Chains A and B, each alone.
Chain A
Amino acid sequence: MAAETLSEQYKRSGKSGRRAAFLLVLPLLAFLTITFFLPIFNMLNRSIDDPTIDRLLPRAAESLRAWNGKGRPPFGAIAALADDLARAQSLGTVGQIATRLNFERAGMRSLIMKTAREAKTFAPPYAQAFNAVDLQWSDPEVWGVIRHASATRTSSYYIAAMDQTRKADGTMVPRAEEEQVYILMLQRTLWVALLVTVLCFVLGYPLAYFISQQSDRTRNLLLILVLLPFWTSLLVRTTSWIALLQTNGIVNDALAFVGGDGARLELIHNMTGTLIAMTHILLPFMILPTYSVMLSVPPALTRAAVSLGATPWTAFWRVYFPMTLPGAAAGGLLVFILALGYYITPALVGGRTGQLISNMIQFHMQTSLNWGLAAALGGILLACVTVLYIIYARAIGLNRLRLG
């Protein structure tokens, strides 16, 4: 009896403790939901959801969905499209239809605008009426474009993001070679992120070690210097590299002073510029976790190893390094994931060859207004990060990662 009450009391107090903890994180949770989870969900939804055609060409969409895409489109669909276009023309929604279809095939915009203007006068036989406006309507592929776009759940943005395109009957074919770009950009982004991570490790690890070996005072000072770049804006740090690295910049002037004018190198507006600037900006994210883990390694351990006969290298490699690895691994993960999403730096210093996938996403958000494709590219990037994170977690072990 008494024991039961006690365990009940224990449960109750545990419950209230959990409730208090939950209430404490509630603001953060709400914040994350609104600013993080909902936008991501919204983005992923946008990449597959596009009701434009279904909404604005309802009857044509329905009968085209019933068509298998082979041979000629059914007569019912042709008549329905004439009807829908005439109504869209009177409602002023033709532009939206035209824009949506032009994402799928160049020239659809003017074809739809032109046809919609005449659609009111169309009379059976409708197929001839369409062909009379433009002979492109005799091409089943044109109808295939409308058929694909008529699905409210569409995979066409992902197909475009994979450098593929679809024929009327649904078979996928790669885009013309001179138009393939996204796969290349994705590979390049992953490669750059990897390279930046390695560079940050090579530069950051020795520095973190050096700092951790100093006296308290020096250490704090050096740490402030590591953090100093955060006091200036990312844009300023990036554009400073332009001044340093450009053809007549300080670095090249120094090179020319030593080796003559022929010694000038192209250090900016290309991949080199992107790598240098990104490594510089992301370096602190590698140094800080590595450093704080290094601090927690007792110096006695390496000394013990040496006193037991290990060479300094063995003592470092077999004793010290494994103990600092969790910090370096955490730093590496931070740098890698941050690097995957970088876009301002490549946009400013990357020139033509130093652009990354996020620059493509920005392009489709801002310039081409193809938000569906931007969302699909974002979705693919998110999937890549998730997969790599899982692989990383398996290889290193998440519980071994330490930030200090």
Chain B
Amino acid sequence: MGRTTGIIIAAAAAIVILAGVLLFMLGRGSETAVNDLDKEMSDLQLPSADGSTPPAPTPAAGGASLAGKSLVVVSWGGAYTKSQIEAYHKPFTAKTGAKITSEDYSGGVAEIKAMVLAKNVTWDVVDMELADAQRACDEGLLEKIDAGMLPAAPDGTPAVQDFIPNGITPCAVTTIVFSHIVAYDDTKFELKKPTKLADFFNVKDFPGKRGLRKTSPKINLEMALRADGVPAEKVYETLSTKEGVDRAFRKLDTIKNDVIWWTPGSQPPQLLADGQVTMTTAYNGRIFDAQIGEGKPFKIIWDGQLQELDVLSVVKGTKNLEAALQFIAFATDTQRLADQAQYIAYGPARRSSLPLVGTYSAKPEVDMKAHMPNAAENSANALQIDFLWWADHQEELNQRWNAWLAK
């Protein structure tokens, strides 16, 4: 009896130790996956504040006009929020005296809807994907923003012309262009390297598992059609017909059993690093972080990239409407947008900001211009996601997407 007990205790202790070691070995990667389940924006490691030059705050033009006011600005967390704190929040506080509290969320409109319905609005400004902002705007959950209050470009071009197409919508002002790209592990393809989007669907010549985003048909259907030879300007026209949708799903069928599905944006670089997949779709900022920040042998295929916009919006019924609008006008001016790009590889939404983009704050030898999704050499064959088309068709296609996934 005593001996059995001893053996059991020893075995149990071994299991506990093993579990401990395992958890330790799991390391940062999986922990991140846990922490930001559903988080879809970049999570770059930013340099500590002392190592980098903070953007020079503009001299207080109107004085501390908002002193004593405080704003709650909600964003995706991680390095993305940090880039906003450096580029927008700190200079705004310096200029106006308004205190900014930063909160994290994982996207979607659910929280905003609940808040507005309950008439208990605690968020003022929210960073959203354009498609979500459009839907929230439709449902009357966001304040309208007058484009006239946005500052003009330094050369005097009015904001409406300075912003990229769809950059200003009734309830939202765009800050960045982010991109869905295909990334691959360079070490897995020794002789022949994949160079174009179509190679993603070619499992014969470029063997290995693929990573695709699970959450919605958006991105996946467009990519399938682009890879199948549909030109960018015909994608949504094609998808508007049943045959076009069938064609996209048929293309996806060809790799359906080779796919590992990801949800949070931190997952694709992790899947590549773990050797789970050899090629995956991803947000370009995440791959930039792995490439440049961590020195991973990953490569980006810019061919056929899908660009999406990320915007700032004001929650309907906020008590700080005036300050919130001032913040948005400030954060989306030419210099602020260009400043943000030195912390994260997402492109500024103003044309006038692009030439002002400098080097990566953590590694001054890296020119950020080359990593912007909307830099000319990267966006040659790009497609802008049509958020209005998706607003119309998402119910139907979500349904079909979920059914396709389940079968």
Whether the pair A95, B23 counts as a contact (CB closer than 8 A) is no
Whether the pair B37, A370 counts as a contact (CB closer than 8 A) is no
Whether the pair A367, B215 counts as a contact (CB closer than 8 A) is yes
Q: Which of B31, B110, B259 contacts A365 (CB 8 A)?
A: B110
- For the complex, what is the distance from the CA of A348 to the CA of B388, rounded to whole Å? 30
Q: Which of A23-31, A73-81, A105-113, A379-387 contacts B (4 or more CB under 8 A)?
A: A105-113
Q: Which of A13-21, A142-150, A179-187 contacts B (4 or more CB under 8 A)?
A: A179-187
Whether the pair B395, A370 counts as a contact (CB closer than 8 A) is yes
Which 3 A-B residue pairings sit nearest by Cβ, starting from the closest? Answer: A95-B138, A106-B396, A181-B403
Whether the pair B388, A355 counts as a contact (CB closer than 8 A) is no
Give the chain B neighbours of A99 by CB distance below 8 A.
135, 138-139
Please tell me if A33 contacts chain B, counting CB pairs below 8 Å: no
Give the chain B neighbours of A178 by CB distance below 8 A.
249, 400, 403-404
Given contacts A103-B395, A215-B1, contact A243 B108 (CB under 8 A): no
- For the complex, what is the distance from the CA of A185 to the CA of B404, rounded to whole Å? 12
Please tell me if A246 contacts chain B, counting CB pairs below 8 Å: yes
Please tell me if B33 contacts chain A, counting CB pairs below 8 Å: yes
B109 (CB) vs chain A CBs: closest residue: A369
> Footprint of B on A, CB under 8 Å?
92-96, 98-99, 102-103, 106-110, 175, 178-181, 184-185, 188, 214-215, 217-218, 221-222, 225, 228, 233, 235-236, 239-240, 242-244, 246-248, 250, 269, 344, 347-348, 351-353, 355, 360, 363, 365-370
The interface bits of chain B over 200-213 (1 if a CB of A lies within 8 angstroms of the residue's CB, else 0) are: 00000000010000
B246 (CB) vs chain A CBs: closest residue: A178
Give the chain B neighbours of A348 by CB distance below 8 A.
33, 37
Q: Name B180-218 residues within 8 Å CB distance of A.
A: 209, 214-216
Give the chain B neighbours of A344 by CB distance below 8 A.
37
Give the chain B neighbours of A247 by CB distance below 8 A.
209, 275-276
Q: Which of A184, A217, A243 contacts B22 (CB 8 A)?
A: A243
Given contacts A95-B140, A240-B23, contact A351 B261 (CB under 8 A): yes
> Footprint of A on B, CB under 8 Å?
1, 4-5, 8-9, 12, 15-16, 19, 22-23, 25-26, 30-31, 33-34, 37-38, 108-110, 113, 135, 137-140, 209, 214-216, 249, 256, 259-261, 263, 274-276, 388, 391-400, 402-407
Main secondary structure of the interface of B (DSSP, over half): helix
- Choose among B31, B249, B398 the residue with the greatest number of A CB atoms under 10 Å from its CB: B398
Whether the pair A355, B216 counts as a contact (CB closer than 8 A) is no
Give the chain B neighbours of A109 by CB distance below 8 A.
138, 391-392
Q: Which of A106, A235, A366 contacts B395 (CB 8 A)?
A: A106
Additional 13 contacts, C-beta under 8 A, given A235-B34, A239-B30: A96-B140, A102-B392, A107-B392, A110-B388, A175-B399, A180-B403, A215-B5, A221-B8, A242-B30, A243-B25, A248-B276, A352-B406, A366-B38
- For the complex, what is the distance from the CA of A366 to the CA of B215, rounded to whole Å? 11
B407 (CB) vs chain A CBs: closest residue: A184
Whether the pair A360, B402 counts as a contact (CB closer than 8 A) is yes
Whether the pair A98, B406 counts as a contact (CB closer than 8 A) is no
- For the complex, what is the distance from the CA of A98 to the CA of B402, rounded to whole Å? 23
Give the chain A neighbours of B34 by CB distance below 8 A.
233, 235-236, 239
Whether the pair A106, B109 counts as a contact (CB closer than 8 A) is no
Whether the pair A239, B33 counts as a contact (CB closer than 8 A) is yes
Nearest CB in chain A: distance from B388 CB, A: 7
Whether the pair A355, B108 counts as a contact (CB closer than 8 A) is no
A229 (CB) vs chain B CBs: closest residue: B19
Given contacts A225-B12, A248-B275, A370-B395, contact A240 B26 (CB under 8 A): yes
Given contacts A106-B393, A106-B395, A107-B393, contact A95 B137 (CB under 8 A): yes
Whether the pair B108, A179 counts as a contact (CB closer than 8 A) is no
Whether the pair B259, A352 counts as a contact (CB closer than 8 A) is yes
- For the complex, what is the distance from the CA of A348 to the CA of B36, rounded to whole Å? 12
Q: Which of A180, A184, A221, A351 contacts B12 (CB 8 A)?
A: A221
- For the complex, what is the distance from the CA of A110 to the CA of B406, rounded to whole Å? 29
A100 (CB) vs chain B CBs: closest residue: B139
Whether the pair A368, B395 counts as a contact (CB closer than 8 A) is yes
Q: Identify 13 residue pairs between A and B in the complex whose beta-carbon atoms are under 8 Å apart, listed by A's number.
A: A94-B138, A95-B138, A99-B135, A99-B138, A106-B392, A106-B397, A218-B9, A225-B15, A248-B276, A348-B37, A352-B261, A352-B406, A353-B406
Q: Which of B8, B25, B37, B274 contacts A218 (CB 8 A)?
A: B8
Give the chain A neighbours of B259 by CB distance below 8 A.
352
- For the complex, what is the distance from the CA of A344 to the CA of B256, rounded to whole Å? 23
Given contacts A107-B392, A218-B8, A239-B26, contact A352 B1 (CB under 8 A): no
- For the complex, what is the distance from the CA of A351 to the CA of B406, rounded to whole Å? 10
Give the chain A neighbours of B391 by CB distance below 8 A.
102, 109-110
- For the complex, what is the distance from the CA of A110 to the CA of B23, rounded to whole Å? 50
Whether the pair B392, A347 counts as a contact (CB closer than 8 A) is no
- For the complex, what is the distance from the CA of A93 to the CA of B140, rounded to whole Å? 7
- For the complex, what is the distance from the CA of A297 to the CA of B261, rounded to whole Å? 49
Given contacts A95-B139, A181-B403, A351-B260, contact A367 B393 (CB under 8 A): no
- For the complex, what is the distance from the CA of A310 to the CA of B209, rounded to whole Å? 58
- For the complex, what is the distance from the CA of A370 to the CA of B19, rounded to whole Å? 41
Give the chain A neighbours of B393 by CB distance below 8 A.
106-107
Nearest CB in chain B: distance from A146 CB, A: 16
